[in-house]
Amino acid sequence: MTETFSKSRQRAEIAFGNVQSQFFAKNKAVEELESDVQSQQAKTLRLREARLSRERSDRASATAALVARRARAG
């Protein structure tokens, strides 16, 4: 079942195929960018949580050291 199209129809089919390929390539690029942004946001959140945890730990140990120093002095 081979179809033969006129020259203008063949050109139109080729042009449509090119546009369709560009459309799908653009969508793929957008999906990749969105994926990169999501992974970057997840990493940023993970790092922020680690930093805040470290700061809380540092603050608690500094407070404990201060309380111990005052207890020894007084």
The token pair that represents 1 in the structure block: 């079942």
pLDDT score for 73: 83
Q: What three-state secondary structure class fits 21?
A: helix
What is the pTM assigned to this prediction? 0.59
The pLDDT assigned to 51 comes to: 98
How far apart (Å, rounded) are the C-alpha atoms in residues 49 and 11?
57
Total count of domains within the chain: 1
Q: Give a yes or no: residue 31 inside a domain.
A: no
18-45 tens-digit pLDDT:
999 999 999 999 999 999 999 999 999 9
Rounded Cα–Cα distance for residues 65 and 71 (Å): 10
In a domain, 69, yes or no: yes
State the amino acid at position 49 in one-letter form: E
Distance CA 18, CA 12 (A): 10
Which residues form the domain of 65?
A: 42-73
